[in-house]
């Protein structure tokens, strides 16, 4: 145990036979449980998982009969960790991209939070070595994850190296957590409704000879619609169901004004262009003024949302150690 906490490390295993043994050997001694979840891997990973479980009493081997993705593997690990009465679950990938030495800092960060995750963006030298495509993708998807989850102060939201208290897992709606590569994003989104506080731990990015199973094209097509849907859901619940405040008014007035000005101006521009006639000044002013008014109110709503407290944060009303 570490500071009276029972620590479980969960490793989703899919095509990691080249790196898994080295990753497991680097896990600190204070970790009580190691959960190796074979996600129906087609290579030698299943046999390796069983062999490692036979050599270390801390290891529990779990096997899927069909591939469920990283999220499905982690859900299996979460259930097993809670069954074993672990206090903390740490997600560690089996491909060697995550340094087990950072398990301790992640667990330490849970003294003041309920979810701690790694942040690769604090290390400038390692950031320079991050592939450019991945860096740009992280920036774009990361911004959308911040908007969808409401955790605007999280700098590296797509980092999958994290530690979470099991009491937080019990408060989350795990049915809404995605099973595949949307898993990390959906965890943050659902954690918002569990009122979890988040801490970040600076750590370097590690890129070796491992091959990612992530399809970039599929990610760019599937992630944005899901994140936009999650963002709309959060705004609806936060500002129109559980609360109604000045941000709600900004949205209610600003969005119709902006949409009206945009559609009205576009339609009139097309109409007058088709008859080769300049648009009347009044028509232009109506379109421009309503667009500007709406845009300014939406900016005010965004500013309010970024600085506002999480309305689902139950820790505002009780001591952390209670």
CA distance 139 to 182: 16
Can you name the residues that pair with 35 across neighbouring β-strands? 10, 60
Name which of 75, 90, 84 is nearest 9 in CA terms: 90
Q: What is the pLDDT of residue 120?
A: 78
Residue 322 has pLDDT above 70, yes or no: no
CA distance 233 to 238: 8
Q: Could you tell me if 261 and 291 are in contact, meaning their C-beta atoms sit under 8 angstroms apart?
A: yes
Q: Cα 286 to the chain's mean position, in Å?
A: 41
Residue 243 has pLDDT above 50, yes or no: yes
Residue 261 has pLDDT above 70, yes or no: yes
For 96-145, the pLDDT digits (tens) are: 889 999 999 999 999 989 999 998 777 666 667 666 776 777 788 889 99
Q: What is the pLDDT of residue 318?
A: 46
Name which of 117, 108, 83 is nearest 28 in CA terms: 108
Per-residue pLDDT, averaged over 292-314, amounts to 91
Radius of gyration of the chain (CA): 24
DSSP string, 183-212: HHHHHHHHHHHTT--EEEEE------S---
Q: What is the pLDDT of residue 96?
A: 87
Q: What is the pLDDT of residue 85?
A: 94
Residue 320 has pLDDT above 50, yes or no: no
Q: What is the pLDDT of residue 309?
A: 83
SS3 147: helix
Q: What is the pLDDT of residue 1?
A: 72
Q: What is the pLDDT of residue 246?
A: 95
Residue 316 has pLDDT above 70, yes or no: no
Residue 162: what are its φ and ψ, rounded to 5°?
Answer: -150, 165
CA distance 227 to 233: 10
Q: How confident is the model at residue 215 (pLDDT cuts 50, 70, 90)?
A: low
Residue 262 has pLDDT above 90, yes or no: yes
Residue 82 has pLDDT above 50, yes or no: yes
Per-residue pLDDT, averaged over 142-164, amounts to 90
For 244-254, the pLDDT digits (tens) are: 999 999 999 99
For 55-81, the pLDDT digits (tens) are: 999 999 999 999 999 999 999 999 999
For 4-42, the pLDDT digits (tens) are: 899 999 999 999 999 999 999 999 999 999 999 999 999
Q: What is the pLDDT of residue 319?
A: 44
What is the reported pTM?
0.83
For 165-200, the pLDDT digits (tens) are: 999 999 999 999 998 888 989 999 999 999 899 999
Biggest alpha carbon distance in the chain? 83
Tokens of 35: 């959960």
Q: To the nearest whole percent, how much of the chain has pLDDT over 70? A: 89
Q: What is the DSSP letter of 100?
A: G
């Amino acid at each position: 145990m570490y500071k009276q906490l029972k620590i479980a490390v969960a490793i989703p295993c899919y095509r990691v036979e080249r790196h898994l043994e080295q990753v497991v050997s680097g896990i600190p001694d204070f970790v009580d449980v190691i959960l190796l979840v074979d996600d129906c891997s087609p290579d030698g990973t299943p046999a390796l998982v069983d062999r490692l479980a036979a050599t270390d009493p801390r290891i529990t081997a779990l096997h899927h009969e069909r591939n469920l993705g990283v999220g499905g593997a982690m859900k299996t690990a979460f259930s097993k960790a809670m069954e074993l009465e672990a206090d903390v679950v740490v997600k560690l990938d089996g491909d060697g991209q995550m340094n087990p030495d950072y398990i301790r800092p992640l667990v330490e960060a849970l003294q003041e939070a309920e979810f701690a995750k790694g942040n690769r963006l604090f290390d400038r030298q390692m950031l320079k070595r991050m592939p450019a495509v991945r860096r740009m993708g992280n920036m774009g998807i990361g911004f959308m994850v911040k908007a969808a989850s409401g955790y605007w102060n999280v700098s590296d939201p797509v980092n999958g190296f994290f530690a979470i208290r099991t009491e937080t897992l019990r408060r989350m709606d795990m049915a809404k957590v995605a099973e595949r590569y949307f898993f990390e994003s959906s965890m943050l989104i659902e954690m918002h409704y569990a009122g979890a506080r988040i801490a970040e731990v600076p750590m370097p990015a590690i890129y070796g000879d491992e091959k990612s199973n992530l399809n970039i094209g599929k990610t760019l097509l599937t992630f944005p619609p899901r994140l936009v849907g999650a963002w709309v859901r959060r705004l609806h619940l936060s500002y129109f169901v559980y609360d109604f405040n000045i941000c709600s008014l900004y949205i209610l007035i600003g969005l119709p004004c902006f949409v009206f000005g945009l559609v009205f101006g576009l339609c009139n521009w097309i109409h007058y262009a088709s008859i080769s006639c300049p648009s009347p000044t009044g028509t232009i002013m109506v379109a421009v003024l309503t667009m500007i008014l709406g845009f300014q109110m939406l900016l005010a709503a965004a500013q309010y949302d970024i600085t506002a407290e999480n309305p689902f944060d139950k820790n505002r009303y009780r001591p952390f150690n209670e």
